[in-house]
Amino acid sequence: MHFCRIVDDIADEIKNKRLKIEKLKSWKKKINNIFESKKLKSSIEKELKIAVEKFQLERLDFYAIIDGMMMDAKSDIKFPKKKNLELYCDRVAVAVGYLSIRIFGLSKKEKKYAFYLGRAFQLTNIVRDFYEDLKRGRCYIASEYLSIYGVKKDIKTIMHDPKLQNILQDILHEANIFFEKSNIEAKKISKKQIIASEIMKTFYKAIHTKMFKKKIDIEKKIKLNYFQKIYILVLFAVRY
């Protein structure tokens, strides 16, 4: 969704903190204008309004995504409490899933599927993007994980702590539980309605598998190559 890309870029690419916050607040006003049927200025706002009306998208899901980006914009997140990390995941990933299921033609009954998938994706992202985030002065590892292994909350030293691998594996284990729960929920839904999300899940699970129960090369971002992506797409073409 173009909207998600825009607000994500604001949080990640704009260096000036005040400007980030202003732009995100501006987007909240734009979303409000869409739902209040006020005059819209840009083409993206007009496109969003069409999508909102066509798929009955909910205002609070858009707000949640912006609020998640605002968490990044206000300060670099470092070793949050687990409940705050879960809130962040629900805003930047689960809320996107809630919008997506509406576009797929699903109802609120399928929100569990979107919830589990969003959590699985974001936890996988935290491990995959750990090094990149660290270079930006961020670390999304919950402080509770550090306490378990006696690791200091120090963004400068965590990279070289031998217990880091254990922590990353614990996060991937949690992600795996959410992947499994999403599989259970997926069986209750028409396959044709969730092809797009199931393809994305397969991509993410493949990345997850490359890291899970293995020693992770932290400085190397795990990706799928061209042939791996094509293989997954061909599998879905045959199945569906």
pLDDT of residue 240: 65
Residue 18 CB burial class (10 angstroms; 0-12, 13-18, ≥19): exposed
Evaluate if residue 227 carries a pLDDT over 90. Answer: no
What is the pTM assigned to this prediction? Answer: 0.92
Q: What is the mean pLDDT of the chain?
A: 93
Residue 86 CA to residue 89 CA, distance in Å, equals: 5
Q: Is the pLDDT of residue 239 over 80?
A: no
Choose among 130, 122, 110, 134: nearest CA to 204.
122
> CB neighbours (10 Å) of residue 118?
23
Tens digits of residue pLDDT in 60-73? 999 999 999 999 99
Q: Domains in the chain, start-ordered, CATH in brackets? A: 1-75 (no CATH), 76-240 (1.10.600.10)
What is the pLDDT averaged over residues 75-102? 95
Q: Which residues of 74-103 are buried (b: 16+ CB within 10 A; e: fewer)?
A: eeebbbbeeeebbbbbbbbbbbbbbbbbbe
The pLDDT tens digits of the residues spanning 28-39 come to 999 999 999 888
